[in-house]
Amino acid sequence: MYDLAPLARFGGLVATDLRDVTHDPEALDSTGFWAVCADFEGRLTCARFGDVRPDPVPAPVPGAWRGPAAGAWTSSLDRAAYTAGVRRVREHIARGEVYQANLCRVLSAPLPDPAAADVDALTALLARGNPAPYAGTIRLPAHGVEVATASPELYLRREGPRVSSGPIKGTGRTAADLLPKDHAENVMIVDLVRNDLGRVSETGSVAVPVLCAVEEHPGLVHLVSTVSGVLRRDAGWPGLLAATFPPGSVTGAPKSSALRIIEALETAPRGPYCGGVGWVDADAGTGELAVGIRTFWIDRPEGVLRFGTGAGITWGSDPEREWEETELKASRLVAIASGLHEPGASEATGKAISR
């Protein structure tokens, strides 16, 4: 097995010289630069690095990443199971148990040489083929965290007492594809995020400066809103995470009901997908965590690469359209991980994961 040194990359910085690893969120209010990975199921890993310096993601090195075969991807929920799940969510909505729930599936494919797999080499391919505003890498093989994300979504940004979140809800190939259902979906989650931030923010400080803006990303568009607040003096990272995790955009509303439905319908743990991935500079009182979407992770004991995709389900959801949304979100990324970059190759790979 390759001796992969611990490393993290975020925002044009690379962090090396691992000093400490903890699962205690209190560490994020201490000192130093921390890489943070929070699994959807609640496992938190915080890694403090001693050397942090500017270093752009290097250009891909031919052969450095050996990804899965394009036809090797399988899904935790196939098309029939996923569309049946959408119908089940609509039944819960009809009974008044939930307004929206995010239904996800996990794609998996065996790595041809797991011992040599390096998420940092995959990061280089993602940076070229699918640049993203909250892209990042955490490589901690000894601690079971090897994540490469091309996330377009802000979970939490902290600048001293000021915090903000950028929930995404509503996806299409173009802005013309966005439906009234997409706007309703976004507004529901904005209300949820306002409530979450309000639990730890100064009274009257929570605001929505941006509502349902259309953002373009490689191969698709999203509706994105911004919710902001000012943290109470007694609230730090532990309280902020407790109030807002898992992110509202990948759970549903009400969050507690959506989580119960997700647990009943999904057949695989999400892991870092739909969790939080990013960094915290405890000395500066700043940090930026992405929602762990468009995210790959290496499951080294199983020798596989995993990737999650999903969609927000409302009463207005069409099961087949929601399935196609999950395909759209996955196709370009899994094509990159499988070494396909030619025009049209991502669509072919998307069909390969429908099994």
Catalytic machinery residues: 153, 169
164: which 2 tokens?
């903000």
203 burial type by CB count under 10 A (0-12 exposed, 13-18 middle, 19+ buried):
exposed
Please name every residue paired with 47 in a beta bridge, in sequence order, or none if there are none. 21, 35
Beta strand extents in 23-179 (DSSP E only)? 33-38, 44-54, 74-75, 100-110, 134-140, 145-151, 154-159, 162-166, 168-172
> Read out DSSP for 234-286?
T--HHHHHHHHPSPGGGTEESHHHHHHHHHHH--S--TTTTSEEEEEETTTTE
Q: Any residues with CB less than 8 A from the CB of 80 and at least 6 apart, and which?
A: none
Q: What is the dihedral of CA 301, 302, 303, 309, to 10 degrees?
A: -120
H/E stretch holding 230:
strand 220-230
Q: Which of 67, 92, 58, 139 lies closest to 265 in space, CA to CA? A: 92
CA distances to 102, 140, 262, 303, 341 from 327, in Å: 15, 29, 19, 24, 17
In degrees, rounded to 5, the angle at the alpha carbon of residue 103 between the alpha carbons of residues 153 and 8 is 35
Instruction: Measure the CA–CA gap between 292 and 148, rounded to whole angstroms.
Output: 9
Binning the chain into helix, strand and coil, the percentages to the nearest 5 are: 30, 35, 35
Quote the DSSP letter at residue 351.
H
Q: Tokens 């730090």 correspond to what residue?
A: 236
Q: Which of 254, 89, 246 lies closest to 167 in space, CA to CA? A: 246
Phi, psi angles (nearest 5°) of residue 343? -55, 135
